[in-house]
């Protein structure tokens, strides 16, 4: 539940997410056949492709937009989205680092910002990165992945749970900024702010942070981690604004995973960190450990934890209690 498994186990988690998507699409097609006008061959082919191999996060995003379109009785939009799902399901994407622009993402530039806004419960306003920002970001992401790969199996987990790392900038008209973002509705995609992560140690933390969210999305597919009402708000260890209990749980788990990643880096025999970097990592380990136990106290006091959440919480807590700093 906490330690990174083999690439095969993370591949199985991705497969579960895709199979759940295929089952839901089967249901949507069955109950909305007259309005969706799905050809049997297209349905069978798309579901087979989704179950067989990795798919773009845009397929997951279009599924949610398809459901929203039906709920609003926008049947023309629903038919268009279904055709796009059929087309995109045939493609087998590879792990990639992409800029947030229409050249790389097409109509998903609008879709990603909109669905992330729903997940964040506030408007997320993104824009394409400037060329020099994008070059630095891609170099930093590549260097951070190499650093993680040299230190631990977390690199395999990142590549199995995440299919695209998207570099975006905050719009000049946006309110609150963002460091990174991910959504259950965009399984396999993480967005990171190109203005924030020039240093590879910072990028390493960002990748570990967002991948931890992805892992929890997958682990909570069949059962949530908490039963608290989404309207309840509590102090978060990672954000200044009060958050739902599910958000507190995510923040706690993220802190533990970032601590673990840095610990493996410090123990690595193949990575040479200079004195300044080792000092920085030690400071961050202490910070993440402190924030983890802050979040844990909130969960223990206010959380209504499910059996699934308890297993994950116990595993993360056992790790954090086993380390000295």
Q: What pLDDT digit, counting tens, does each position of 19-37 carry? A: 999 999 999 998 887 888 8
Task: Give the torsion sign (CA, 275, 280, 286, 292).
Answer: negative
Copy the structure tokens of residue 204: 């390493």
> In the predicted model, what is the mean pLDDT of residues 301-323?
96
**What is the C-alpha radius of gyration for the chain, rounded to an integer number of angstroms?**
20
3-state secondary structure of 26: helix
pLDDT-above-90 percentage for the chain: 73
pLDDT digits (tens, 9 = 90+) for 152-181: 778 888 999 999 999 999 764 455 567 899
**DSSP H helical segments within 268-306, as ranges?**
275-302
* C-alpha span between 97 and 101 (Å, rounded): 12
Going by pLDDT thresholds of 50, 70 and 90, the confidence category of residue 285 is very high
What's the farthest any 2 CA atoms get from each other in the chain?
Answer: 66
Predicted pLDDT of residue 8: 60
> In the predicted model, what is the mean pLDDT of residues 292-315?
95
Length of the chain: 325
| Counts for the chain of helices (H) and strands (E), in that order | 13, 5
Copy the structure tokens of residue 220: 């909570």
* C-alpha span between 206 and 200 (Å, rounded): 10
Model's pTM, two decimal places? 0.93
pLDDT of residue 42 exceeding 50, the answer is: yes
Domain extent listing, the chain = 7-89, 223-325
Q: Which residue has the higher pLDDT, 121 or 106?
A: 106
pLDDT digits (tens, 9 = 90+) for 195-229: 888 888 999 999 999 999 999 999 999 999 999 99
* C-alpha span between 262 and 266 (Å, rounded): 6
Predicted pLDDT of residue 177: 62
Nearest to 217 by CA among 255, 179, 177, 190: 190
Q: Which residue has the higher pLDDT, 45 or 238?
A: 45
């Amino acid at each position: 539940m906490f330690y990174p498994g083999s690439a095969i186990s993370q591949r199985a988690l991705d497969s579960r997410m895709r199979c759940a998507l295929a089952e839901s699409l089967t249901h949507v097609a069955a109950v909305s056949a007259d309005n969706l006008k799905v050809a049997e061959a297209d349905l069978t082919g798309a579901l087979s492709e989704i179950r067989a191999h990795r798919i773009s996060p845009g397929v997951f995003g279009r599924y949610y937009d398809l459901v929203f379109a039906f709920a609003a009785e926008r049947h023309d939009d629903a038919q268009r989205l279904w055709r796009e799902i059929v087309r995109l399901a045939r493609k087998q994407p590879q792990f990639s680092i992409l800029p947030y622009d229409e050249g790389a993402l097409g109509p998903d530039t609008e879709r990603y910002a909109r669905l992330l806004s729903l997940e964040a419960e506030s408007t997320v306003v993104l824009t394409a990165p400037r060329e020099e920002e994008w070059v630095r970001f891609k170099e930093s992401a590549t260097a951070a992945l190499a650093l993680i790969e040299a230190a631990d199996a977390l690199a395999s987990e990142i590549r199995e749970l995440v299919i695209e790392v998207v570099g975006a900038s905050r719009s000049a008209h946006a309110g609150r900024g963002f460091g990174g973002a991910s959504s259950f509705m965009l399984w396999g995609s993480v967005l990171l702010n190109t203005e924030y992560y020039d240093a590879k140690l910072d990028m390493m933390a960002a990748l570990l942070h967002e991948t931890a969210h992805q892992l929890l999305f997958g682990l909570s597919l069949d059962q949530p981690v908490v039963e608290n009402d989404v309207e309840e708000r509590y102090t978060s260890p990672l954000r200044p604004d009060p958050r739902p209990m599910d958000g507190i749980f995510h923040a706690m788990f993220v802190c533990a995973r970032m601590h673990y990643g840095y610990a493996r880096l410090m123990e690595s025999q193949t990575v040479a960190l200079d004195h300044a970097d080792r000092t920085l990592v030690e400071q961050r380990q202490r910070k993440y450990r402190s924030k983890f136990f802050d979040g844990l106290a909130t969960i223990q006091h206010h959380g209504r934890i499910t059996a699934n959440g308890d297993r994950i919480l116990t595993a993360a807590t056992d790790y954090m209690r086993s380390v000295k700093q």
